[in-house]
Amino acid sequence: MTTGNDGPFETLADATTSARRSPVGRAHALQLACAEAGVSLGRFDRRVLDEVSGLETEVVWALAAIIRRAGGAHS
Question: 14 near 1, Cβ under 8 Å?
Answer: no
- Structure confidence at residue 60 (pLDDT): 94
Q: pLDDT means per 10 residues in the chain (75 residues)?
A: 66 86 85 94 96 93 92 63
- Structure confidence at residue 33 (pLDDT): 93
In a domain, 7, yes or no: no
In a domain, 51, yes or no: yes
- Structure confidence at residue 54 (pLDDT): 93
- Structure confidence at residue 2 (pLDDT): 44
In a domain, 4, yes or no: no
In a domain, 5, yes or no: no
In a domain, 6, yes or no: no
pTM value is 0.79
In a domain, 41, yes or no: yes
Please give the residue range of the domain that contains residue 63. 12-70
The Cα–Cα gap between 1 and 45 comes to 22
- Output the CA–CA distances (angstroms, integers) from residue 16 to 35, 43, 72, in the order listed: 22, 29, 22
The Cα–Cα gap between 35 and 67 comes to 10
Question: 12 near 58, Cβ under 8 Å?
Answer: yes
Domain count, the chain: 1
